[in-house]
Amino acid sequence: MAARPFYQDAVDDPYAYAARWKEKQQKPVVAHFCSYTPEELIWAAGALPLRIFGQSERIVAADTHLQSYSCSLVRGALEDALAGRLDFADGFVFPHTCDSIQRLSDIWRLNVPHGFHLDAVLPVKLDTPSARDYLRDIVARFGRDLGHNLGIDISAEALAATVTLYNRLRAGLQALYRLRSERPAVISSSAVHAISRAAMVMDREAFADGLDSLLAELAGCEQPPATRKRLVLSGGLCSMPDIYNLIETAGGDVVWDDFCTGSRYFDGQIGDEQPWLAGIADRYRERMVCPAKHMDLTRRGAHLVDLVAATRADGVIFVLLKFCDPHAFDYPYMKGMLDTAGIPSLLFEIEDQQISAGQVRTRCEAFIEML
């Protein structure tokens, strides 16, 4: 029997994992919402950065604060907090992204009694010198506010060690994605997805070590011939992990993504030719943007077309969260750019985890058959 994968606990129940980590390490847990959280600073401050995905499937308490036209991430996260499932967390960080997260921060501040509350009001545009300076200012300020709340000064040594760790961890994820793209048969896409999620939950050192061992192990695997259709996924976060199995069962291989819980998390390294804080801030301008940020008018669409070419993919599946406005606004133009490049695409709009697997399977099969 195969050993339990190093990431499995963190994926099966991230909250239980983080609570156990806290108890064992006697260190704080800081929960947050998005890949724009400068989580390197949380780790450097000696705390565990925990990405909240919103677990609750049944929304009860959150319905008295949020309309039904909020996305499942926002409603699920608030439900988790109000139901006490996040009581172990020492604080919460809300980076400025979309209108819904922005208001979630206010509602959270007014209704979730425990934990410190930090807003990292990042710029919305990232393409000007003044935005670069403001972004650096906000990252530096976040470090100070965080240190104040945790009662420590983040040392230069801790920051340097963290940057090294994060660069290693991100390079590992990059290597894993590349491996998956080059030799899809050596590891399933659902495992790669699980590992990406674990990267946002686990003790970062334990994760980086686990990932490096796994990569060493996979390096020696034989490569069976690939005959399946290659697909790139596009969207924010995948709230439907089953989709990987459905795609694989339908004869497809997921070879890359542009998810914020996928490649946007590991995209880009922190450079060492400037102060660490500036390097952490600048990485956000160098990696691919989330649609809630402005870089230029077609960056995300061009990136997707490039990704398809680089990974020799046959098509793209958009997996969008219902009520996620920034992604829904980008979809028509991105699909248009794919159409122009002759790349077929399919759209799934997912409201919550209750979506019919049967329907998704049928559409996946039809799409892959057509490729």
Partner 1 sequence: MTTPDKTIDEARERRKIKCVKKMKEIMTHYYIDAKTAADQGKKVAWITSGGPVEPLIAMDVIPVYPENHAAMIGASKMGVDLCIQSEEMGYAPDLCSYARADIACAPVEGGPIGGLPRPDMLICCNNICGTVLKWYEAQARFFKVPLFILDTPFCHTEFSEEARRYVRRQIDEYIQFLEQHCGRPFDRERMNAVGRLSIEGQRLWQAVLDTTTHKPAPMSAFDAFFHLALIVTLRGTQTVVDYYTELLQEMQARIAQGISAVENEEYRLLWDNLPIWFRTRWLSEKFAAHNACLVADTYTSAWCSSLQYLREDDFVDTMAEGYSRIYLNIGVDAMAESVMAMIDKYQADGLVMHSNRSCKPYSLGQYDIQRIVREKKKLPTLMIEADMVDERLFAEGPTATRIDAFMEMLKAGQNGARA
Q: Which residues bind partner 1 (CB under 8 A)?
A: 64-67, 69-70, 96, 98-100, 102-107, 109-111, 119, 121, 123-125, 128, 130-131, 133-134, 137-138, 141, 291-292, 294, 297-298, 320, 322-323, 325-326, 328-333, 335-336, 349
Distance of alpha carbon 95 from alpha carbon 101, whole angstroms: 8
- Least distance in Å: CB of 137 to partner 1? 4
**163 versus 337: smaller Cβ distance to partner 1:** 337
Q: Which of 278, 327, 337 is nearest to 303 (CA)?
A: 337
The answer to whether the CB of 222 falls within 8 A of the CB of 306 is no
- Least distance in Å: CB of 222 to partner 1? 43
**70 versus 261: smaller Cβ distance to partner 1:** 70
Q: Which of 125, 202, 170 is nearest to 280 (CA)?
A: 170
Helix (H, G, I), strand (E, B) or coil at 230: strand
Residue 250 tokens, joined? 């339908």
Q: How far, in Å, are 77, 101, 102, 137, 172 from residue 106 at the CA level?
A: 14, 9, 7, 22, 36
Distance of CA 89 to the CA centre of its chain: 19
**32 versus 335: smaller Cβ distance to partner 1:** 335
- Least distance in Å: CB of 104 to partner 1? 7
- Least distance in Å: CB of 223 to partner 1? 38
Residues near 246 by beta carbon (within 8 Å), at least 6 away in sequence? 357, 360, 361, 364
**114 versus 117: smaller Cβ distance to partner 1:** 117
**211 versus 281: smaller Cβ distance to partner 1:** 281
Residues near 43 by beta carbon (within 8 Å), at least 6 away in sequence? 49, 162, 165, 166, 204
- Least distance in Å: CB of 149 to partner 1? 14
Q: Where are the alpha helices (DSSP H) in 220-295?
A: 242-249, 263-266, 276-286
Torsion region of 129: left, alpha or beta (phi above 0 gives left; psi -120 to 50 gives alpha):
alpha
**90 versus 119: smaller Cβ distance to partner 1:** 119
- Least distance in Å: CB of 87 to partner 1? 21
- Least distance in Å: CB of 192 to partner 1? 28
- Least distance in Å: CB of 19 to partner 1? 28
**109 versus 178: smaller Cβ distance to partner 1:** 109
**98 versus 233: smaller Cβ distance to partner 1:** 98
* Terminal CA-CA length for the chain: 37
